[in-house]
A and B are shown apart, each in its own frame.
Chain A
Amino acid sequence: MSEVHAETVPFVRGTMLPEAPPPAAERGAIHWLRANLFSGWVNTILTFVGLFVLWWLFQHFYPWFRHSVWNASSMAECRTLITERWGEGAGGGCFGLVRERWNQFLFGFYPPAEYWRPISAFWLLFLALAPVLFTESRKLRWIVVGVASVMAFALSMLMGAPDPVLICLAVGIVLWVVLIEYIPRAALIVSVIFPFLAVWLLWGGSIWGPATILAGAVLGLAVWGALSRFGALAVLAGLAVAVLWWWFLSSQAAIDLQRLLPLELPKMESRGFGGFLLAITIGVSAIVMSLPLGIILALARQSDLPIVKGFAVIFIEFIRGVPLITLLFVASLLLNYFLPPGTNFDIILRVIIMVTLFASAYMAEVIRGGLASLPRGQYEAAGALGLNYWKMQRLIILPQALKVSIPGIVGTFIGVFKDTTLVTFVGLFDPLKQLADTIRATFEWKGAYWEPYIFSGLIFFILCFSMSRYSMYLEQRLKRDHR
């Protein structure tokens, strides 16, 4: 046998060969190029077309950026500087405009001495959102909270916030961070304070105005809680108490409290709001206010009460069927007709109302998607437990549906935020058009077309891109949770 074996197997390797490197064409840059850029004639053509486009873009835009001037205080000065440096006929960006007017793009005509207020409100927004949005990953939450805290404090200090404010800010941030980390459920409820705080920071006036209104809400909730065994009547009672408080007592209480303990910031006109301050204010308040409206609309549309469902459908389809710009014109031209004679709101408030209605229709659809994505068994199980409709929604359905809808809500926010630029057409100072036009109307910056667009476009891109990336990341995580 062994001989046979020896004949059929003439050679048996006793050791492994050393690993040979792959052939030159199959490794390194060449392989990568071949696999990714030149794997066939279609691909090769595509690559060359792509390279050509890149080269063309580079050739046309790079010189302009290379020749750009930052330290000129007018268009004419900038142009002479460019001609001096790069010769006759050279074109370049005059980013001196951005250097001189950046504050207007960010804040509009908000008084410079008070810049710390919108800045701290902006960064505090992230802190307030932390227990809602950034619960998925502890590391990310720490980063967000850390950056927001440092920015809120440092920038406020830089912009000259008064010392007492800085102390309050520091103490508040520390307490808040502790709260988020140790009692996250409570933090979720306390974050409701933020809208009131932001309103006070942005518009100023006595802190007791927003505070007493918040107190009314708390009072209403307390009454509801105390009477909760009476079911629907408790809701009505809570609502009635809150409304009575707002109607009769809150303004007087605010005045009295202000007399007792004056806490006041200089009052700001909405008119002074402009630039990204305006866009973010409108966008954030519209989304925050549209959330409850959207939930109600979504529930109404899902309900099996035909009249309620019908109204919800009509409202949602109407709002989604008309362009936002017509709604803005309604805000500026018609809203005063619909209100009792003599009522006169600020145009910014009117715009916020219309944008809120607009966003709520889209929000309702997003939340409806979230509701629909829940398995039927959740409803059945809740029913089997004997929960009534509202308890089922509050304890079982909505917490899950809202969590699933967060990416969609962020997406809606991105859309609304981008659309806030349309307020330019009702005469508000949006960062894209009206502010740029105003700046261009001055003698110094006549003819600066590209620089404002590049500057505000870049800010929009950074904000929207990071938000969309975050919502995609969130979507991935939530998807995994549900599998």
Chain B
Amino acid sequence: MTHLQPAEHQPFRLSMLIYDRRYRSLTIQAVVFIAVMLAGAWLVHNTLENLARMGKTFSFSFLWARAGYDIPFSLIPYTATDTHFRALVVGLLNTLLVSFIGCILATIVGVIAGVLRLSNNWLVSKMMTVYVEIFRNVPLLLWILVILAIFTEVMPSPRDYKGDNAAASMILFDSVAPTNRYTAVPRLAMESPPEPLTIAGTPISGTLIAFGGALLAAYLIFRWVRRRATDRQNATGRRPATWWIGLLLFAVPLAALMLLFKVHLIPPKLTGFNFTGGANLDNGFVVLVLALTLYTGAFIAEIVRAGIMSVSRGQSEAAFALGLRARPTMGLVILPQALRVIVPPLISQFLNLTKNSSLAIAVGYPDLRATLGGTTLNQTGREMEAMMLMMGIYLALSLLISAAMNVYNARVRLKER
């Protein structure tokens, strides 16, 4: 390594800012930085001026004012007398719920469709191709509208269930009633629920503690059992069967608790205008989940297919040559390699699904955009604050998902040798 001596002795000249490589990058960065800052300042200045001209202020205090509107679908208790902030939380939880369920279902649909598309059954693989192409090449909004129209136009209304010779009848042993407003399903209820525990002043549901505790304990014990089994396998080459222990561990405490609390199902019943008693799954929710699932599922199917095809044939041939059967080949050889290809685009599909859930606007499902970015924005006239808050929340969600993806990528990369 030879040092570039002369450069150090050269006196600094202004022209070096442009022509000398060492300084030029600094110059460029300084210029870009100043330009971006100036542009930002210009935007902020304009905004302030416009706000002042319209006599508006910039403040988030509206979040604590009374919301005054009802939300048809909420995971936490909410009434019209609550604050806009609580409405925001309701919307956010609804967004998270629909995204979460959508991601799970889309993955299931996508994996099934992707695998079936590779199957050697001509009919099924062609049908899956048609499904994937149709859903990928038509806007999501159309699917939402079409499924919404199917639900409102084709499903019977609750009134059709009325009377002795009703136009519609409930399905699945009179427990589920699909209607054009919601799907009425039975609800789990407890006759003698446990008392809530009060820890540090906040009451925590006893049910949660009981069931959560039981599940956690079962999981921990089962882990221990499996470790024992692995030790045994390493020592003797034979793995003792553990599945029935696991089944018992999970099932017995749950059954016991359910008996203890007298858990039972309340079927939905038609009273007055609507079904009551059971749980009514809002159609907006069902439609949105269905549309997001089918649309994203088509993309995931392609990802899965590409992932499986990316593992070269030699891998499975080698596995067969080693004497592995079809299932271990899939589980130990193909899938781990395919997953490395599948997961990154899969996560970005989850991201897309979460963002696309804002299309709830088309079905009237009260997600974050509908509460904070819709009614709250409209009733308070705080478009600047509401929009900034909403974009910030969506951004935070996306960054969280990307962070999870990066962690996964790092872990997968470590195993690669």
Residues of A within 8 A of B (CB): 35-37, 39, 43, 46-47, 49-51, 53-54, 232, 304-308, 311, 317-318, 320-326, 329-330, 333-334, 336-341, 414, 418-419, 421-422, 424-425, 432-433, 449-450, 453, 456-457, 460-461, 464-465, 468
Contact = CB atoms under 8 A, between A and B. Distances in A.
Contacts of B340: none
B358 A325 contact: yes
B173 interface: no
B387 A325 contact: no
Interface in B386-417: 387, 390-391, 394-395, 397-399, 402
Interface string B320-356: 0000000000000000000000000000000100011
A453 B146 contact: yes
A47 B121 contact: yes
A320 B18 CA distance: 34
11 contacts: A36-B120, A37-B122, A43-B119, A317-B399, A321-B402, A334-B383, A340-B46, A341-B46, A453-B146, A453-B149, A460-B137
B356 A323 contact: yes
A50 B398 contact: no
Contacts of B36: 311
A339 B153 CA distance: 45
Contacts of B170: none
Interface stretch (B26-34, B190-198, B248-256, B259-267): B26-34
B394 A47 contact: no
A320 to B, nearest CB: 7
B140 interface: yes
A321 B139 contact: no
In the complex, which of the residues B121, B351, B384 has the most CB atoms of chain A within 10 Å of its own CB atom? B121
A372 to B, nearest CB: 14
Contacts of A304: 25
A192 B50 CA distance: 37
Contact of A50 (B43, B124, B142): B124
A465 B141 CA distance: 17
A457 B144 CA distance: 12
A323 B355 contact: yes
A338 B46 contact: yes
* Main SS class of interface, B: helix
B141 A321 contact: no
A50 B131 CA distance: 12
B312 interface: no
* Main SS class of interface, A: helix
Contacts of A318: 395
B25 A305 contact: yes
B355 A465 contact: no
B139 A432 contact: yes
A325 B361 contact: yes
A418 B122 contact: no
Contacts of B359: 325, 422
B32 A311 contact: yes
Nearest to B122: A36
A464 B138 contact: yes
In the complex, which of the residues B134, B141, B359, B387 has the most CB atoms of chain A within 10 Å of its own CB atom? B141
A464 B137 contact: yes
Given A323-B356, A333-B383, A460-B139, 19 more contacts: A43-B119, A50-B127, A51-B123, A305-B28, A307-B32, A311-B32, A317-B402, A318-B395, A322-B395, A325-B358, A333-B387, A334-B387, A338-B47, A341-B50, A419-B139, A433-B141, A433-B145, A450-B146, A460-B142
Contacts of A35: 120
B82 to A, nearest CB: 24
A432 B355 contact: no
A337 B47 contact: yes
Nearest to B154: A60
B84 interface: no
Contacts of B387: 326, 329-330, 333-334
B157 to A, nearest CB: 16
Contacts of A308: 28-29, 32
Contacts of A432: 139, 141-142, 145
B29 to A, nearest CB: 4
B160 interface: no
Contact of A326 (B32, B50, B369): B369
B142 A456 contact: yes
B29 A449 contact: no
B377 to A, nearest CB: 8
Contacts of B402: 317, 321
Given A322-B391, A329-B387, A341 B139 contact: no
B139 A421 contact: yes
Contacts of A323: 355-356, 358, 369, 394
B317 interface: no
A326 B123 contact: no
Nearest to A459: B138
